[in-house]
Amino acid sequence: MPSNENLTRSSESKNKFIDLIIKKPRNFKNDILSGTTVALALVPEAIAFAFVAGVNPKVGLYAAFMMGLITAIFGGRPGMISGATGAVAVIFAPLVAKVVNDTMATGVGFEAAMNNALGYLFAAVIMMGLLQIAFGLLKFGKFIRLVPHPVMLGFVNGLAIIIFKAQFPQFTVGGHLLEMAPLLLMIALIALTMAISIFLPKLTKSVPATLVGIIVVSVIGHFINQMYPGLVRTVLDFVQDRDPNIQTIAAGLPQFGIPSMPFSLEALKMIFPFAAIAAAVGLIESLMTLTLVDELTETRGKGNKECIGQGLANVVNGFFGGMGGCAMIGQSMINIRGGGRGRTSGISAAIILLFFVLFGASFIEKIPLAALVGVMFMVVIGTFEWSSLRLFNKIPKSDMFVIILVSVVTVFADLAIAVFVGIIVSALVFAWEHGKVMRANKSVQNNMTVYELDGPLFFGSITSFKDLFNYKEDLEHIVIDFKNSRIWDHSGLEALQNVADKYDQYNKKLHLLNLSGDCELLLKKAKNIVELNVIKNVDWHIADDELDS
């Protein structure tokens, strides 16, 4: 499309205020430090998404560890981070709720009902992973490269808005906004975290600025809470606000187990729709994130290999008590900005996360929410394609419409629907733009001017159709051949009648070849049409009131 050049420039001209890519050499140290930052940012996300799915936080933390580790080793995109995600949690939440309610209706207690629901959940996660592995083995991952660029821009902008909205619960207690003093302090600490992230790279790039921001704000928050207990909201406060019975996020190693679900046809039919939707959503988010990381790092990941890696990670999740997941654009951006480029960054993030869960829970629980929110706000600023806001008068309105449409649908529905809608609309726009251009091969044969048409004749292409003919210069006999064309509607038929009348003004004879039977019925017998040839045994219907009444 004519806007590709402008759209590509838009993707490359990043916000000058925030450099999403901080140039650092690819080495082991940068991968480890960046992975540490990512591990800290993964904790509240995994816990929050576990609550969304209706399961214990450790199920989300296990998922973040296993998804991150296995995709980092076997996936197709070094530097991309996977974990427990909201997109997958939202899909599985109704399954968990349904099994719990159905089980409790039989007189079983909540704890036993939840254990039963976990069996169904883990089985669905395994099935989700198997579907993703099959997708990769069938080499379907390459088709993500065909996603139009306006859809990609809309996807990125929509996800930035979603990440921004996902931080709102951190400002609440019991569903209500924080009181004035804690709220103002939280805003100040968020601003400090962001300031460190912005300005520290101008002084030194030896350590990730986001990691320094988290450490500095954590130290400040610790001393404030020593003097004024509870004034600075921490990770543990966030967890206990949602489940007061949880005293710590510490947990042991994941344990292998076969999901406790009846392996009957009825049970499999119950979980399959959830597994299929989760597999599709997980792959779309992962492959779109892969494409974005490709553009940012100017390298190329392997889509089919990533599908297999994501699937393998989800299968392992199901056998080791994780809720499954996919690639995480927010944490991937943190990793890229922190200098993480290799597989070591993803591996270290997963292992350090597990270390925190096993041995460092008391430290993680004291991290101020403000520090992690500040990091995610930096991700929002760096992820959103600000230059797309300046494209309104530089690209076709159809491209801008697709960008806005995908962004809105991503926010209010989900990213899978948004991508499908964007692709469909882009395809329709492409078809419209190409369909309204009528082409013709013009030649002189047997003392006649011959037009061999190519393209549909309908209300969108009539202007292009009329411009094909040279009424004054053409020979006395004119042939219009519809062998590679078709009249679709009454407007096309009227355009043909107008062309016939125009040639009649110059006393020229018209030969119409390979028309449909409907045309023979509707085309008025202009006196200059000396030949009207109809294709036999072909029933092309024209959208016309006279025939449909």
The CATH number covering residue 483 comes to: 3.30.750.24
**336 in the same domain as 388:** yes
Residue 403 lies in a domain: yes
Residue 348 lies in a domain: yes
**In this predicted structure, what is the pLDDT of residue 15?**
44
Residue 21 lies in a domain: no
Residue 20 lies in a domain: no
**485 in the same domain as 418:** no
Residue 15 lies in a domain: no
**445 in the same domain as 417:** no
The model's pLDDT over 77-131, given as tens digits with 9 standing for 90+, comes to 999 999 998 888 888 999 999 999 999 998 888 889 999 999 999 999 999 999 9
**376 in the same domain as 460:** no
**285 in the same domain as 315:** yes
The band of 535, judged by pLDDT with boundaries at 50, 70 and 90, is low
**455 in the same domain as 361:** no
Specify the 3-state DSSP secondary structure of 455. strand
**199 in the same domain as 327:** yes
Look at 159-163, 197-201, 224-228 and tell me which has the smallest mean pLDDT: 159-163
- Domain end among 393, 428, 463: 428
The model's pLDDT over 53-64, given as tens digits with 9 standing for 90+, comes to 889 999 999 999
Q: Considering its fold, how many domains does the chain have in total?
A: 2
Q: How far is CA 244 from CA 226, 228, 362, in A?
A: 22, 21, 17
**452 in the same domain as 420:** no
Residue 381 lies in a domain: yes
**316 in the same domain as 252:** yes
- Domain end among 404, 428, 452: 428
Give, rounded to a whole angstrom, the gap between the first and last alpha carbons of the chain. 40
Give all strands (DSSP E) within 38-178, no chain letters: 82-83, 172-173, 176-177
**In this predicted structure, what is the pLDDT of residue 78?**
92
**288 in the same domain as 184:** yes
Predicted model pTM: 0.74
> For residue 153, which amino acid is it?
L
**In this predicted structure, what is the pLDDT of residue 3?**
44
The band of 522, judged by pLDDT with boundaries at 50, 70 and 90, is low
* 174-181: average pLDDT: 89
Instruction: Quote the mean pLDDT of the chain.
Output: 85
Residue 22 lies in a domain: no
Residue whose tokens read 């993964």: 42
- Domain end among 428, 445, 478: 428
Task: Please check the confidence at residue 8 and state whether its pLDDT lies above 60.
Answer: no
Check: CB of residue 35 under 8 Å from CB of residue 340: yes
**248 in the same domain as 116:** yes
Residue 239 lies in a domain: yes
- Alpha carbons 331 and 341: distance in angstroms, whole number: 13
**492 in the same domain as 367:** no
Task: Please check the confidence at residue 18 and state whether its pLDDT lies above 60.
Answer: no
Domain housing 493: 437-548
Secondary structure string (H, E, C) spanning 213-260: HHHHHHHHHHHHHHHCCCCCCEHHHHHHHHCCCCCCCCCCCCCCCCCC
Task: Please check the confidence at residue 5 and state whether its pLDDT lies above 50.
Answer: no
